[in-house]
Structure 1
Amino acid sequence: MLESKPDPLASEQPSMGSSSSSLTRLSSGVLPPPRLNVGVFSKRKGVRYHRDGQVSSCRFCEILRARAEPFLYEDEHVVVFRPLRPIVPSHVLIVPRAHIRNVNRLAARHRDLVARMHRVAEAVMTKGPEDGAVEDGEQPEEPVEVHTQKGDENRVRYSFHVPPFNSIDHVHMHAFLDDPRRLGYYGRIKYRTESWWCRSYEQVMARLTELAADVPQGQPEESSSSSSSGLLSEERQTA
């Protein structure tokens, strides 16, 4: 069956069944997130829905609520943590607290959120994911220049996977140093933004800007989306 195939895009999903799961490090008594199938070949993609389309449970929402992973950064809008199987050591995920199903469901009104995700990613990459969490006092309000290690001229890549190639139905941005020597053939293909399965931050923002330009003057941007049906009802804010 389709769900039994290996999942080539499951690197960002924390494992729930192994003894090495980060949840075993929790000692607060917080219940772990529910077991939800994730990955490209998963029917549910880490999310369960009610019959009316409302979100019942979400793998990322539960991670944010239960703090089931060490956070490198968090604020009222976004959280940053490492994927379980990073493509390179610098690989991090930038996840909004609001549940938005995927990159295609982003609307013109989400421009500020996506820009915020990018600024936060820049701050984390500037500090260096290996150096630990970004402190509250370091919360980025303006764009920053990303400085890599001395002698490392690799740029930082910011990307989103496009459905059905997303592995979980909660939009998130990947950020990592684009080092071809470490990415390997698989990584270069998986995160190639000049493709129909992956989009760069610039491509996503350009699309949202176009959507905003198409909104008639005086009309709320809430109605501007490539897939606006049901968009408001499926969004929710995680505590």
Structure 2
Amino acid sequence: MGKHDDCVFCKIINGEIPSAKVYEDEHVYAFLDLSQVTKGHTLVVPKTHTKNIYETPAEVAKEFFARIPKIANAIKKTYKPVGMNLLNNNEPPADQSVFHLHMHLIPRYGKGDGYSANWTIHEKEYTQNDLQQIAKDIHDNVPQ
């Protein structure tokens, strides 16, 4: 497993920094986020150090994402949230502050529960032709 001496999540995985462990297996480690945006807010991290989604090998991604439903369902069973947000930030402009891939599982308990994801909708700014061109541009860069 990858380990970076200056990575706080690697230190948590290796037991050098205490955490409230939710789940662990050979591929992932899940623990409560100290901020607890909502009760049960959990971070899931791959044990293999990878900076972000861009640098994640397919095999690491496969094992990492395969565990998300299992952990999300455990939170759902425990606290009965009315919904859940999954949040992954990549690079500082997207608010990534720890540079080890991680997924936030944020249980939702209704309006005013402490979490909000507000964005501006630009639907009227893009025609169907614009959307088709954007989709083609992205498609052309998907590795075959």
- What TM-score comes out, normalization by structure 2 length? 0.68
Deviation digits for residues 157-211 of structure 1 (CA, Å, limit 9, x no counterpart): 111012111110111100022333212xxx314xx5889xxxxxxxxxxxxxx7x
What SS does the aligned partner of 1:182 have? Answer: coil
Q: Is the 8 A contact 1:91 1:177 kept in 2?
A: yes
Deviation digits for residues 59-112 of structure 1 (CA, Å, limit 9, x no counterpart): 111111116112111100111111111111121111111101122323444441
What SS does the aligned partner of 2:45 have? Answer: strand
Of the three residues 83, 88, 102, the one matched with 1:155 is 83
What is the identity, as a one-letter code, of the residue corresponding to 2:111? P
Distance 1:66 1:111, change over 3 A: closer
What is the identity, as a one-letter code, of the residue corresponding to 1:182? D
What is the identity, as a one-letter code, of the residue corresponding to 1:59? V
Q: Which residue does the alignment assign to 1:168?
A: 98
Distance between the aligned counterparts of 2:48 and 2:24, measured in 1?
13
Q: Find runs of 4+ consecutive structure 1 residues off by over 4 angstroms.
A: 192-195
| Structure 2: segments with no counterpart, 5+ residues | 122-138
Distance between the aligned counterparts of 1:103 and 1:111, measured in 2?
8
What is the identity, as a one-letter code, of the residue corresponding to 2:74? V
- What TM-score comes out, normalization by structure 1 length? 0.43
- RMSD of aligned alpha carbons: 3.0
Of the three residues 119, 122, 125, the one matched with 2:75 is 125
What is the identity, as a one-letter code, of the residue corresponding to 2:8? R
Of the three residues 62, 85, 107, the one matched with 1:177 is 107
Distance between the aligned counterparts of 1:176 and 1:194, measured in 2?
21
Deviation digits for residues 6-63 of structure 1 (CA, Å, limit 9, x no counterpart): xxxxxxxxxxxxxxxxxxxxxxxxxxxxxxxxxxxxxxxxxxxxxxxx9443111111
| Structure 1: segments with no counterpart, 5+ residues | 1-53, 131-147, 196-209, 216-239
Identity rate, percent: 22
Distance 1:172 1:193, change over 3 A: farther
Distance 1:173 1:70, change over 3 A: same
How many pairs align?
121
Q: Which residue does the alignment assign to 2:29?
A: 79
Distance 1:76 1:109, change over 3 A: closer
What is the identity, as a one-letter code, of the residue corresponding to 1:69? S
Kindly report which structure 2 residues correspond to 1:1-239, keeping only aligned pairs within 5 A, or say none: 55-66=4-15, 68-128=18-78, 148=80, 154-164=82-92, 165-178=95-108, 179-183=110-114, 187-189=115-117, 214-215=143-144
Distance 1:75 1:95, change over 3 A: same
What SS does the aligned partner of 1:114 have? Answer: helix
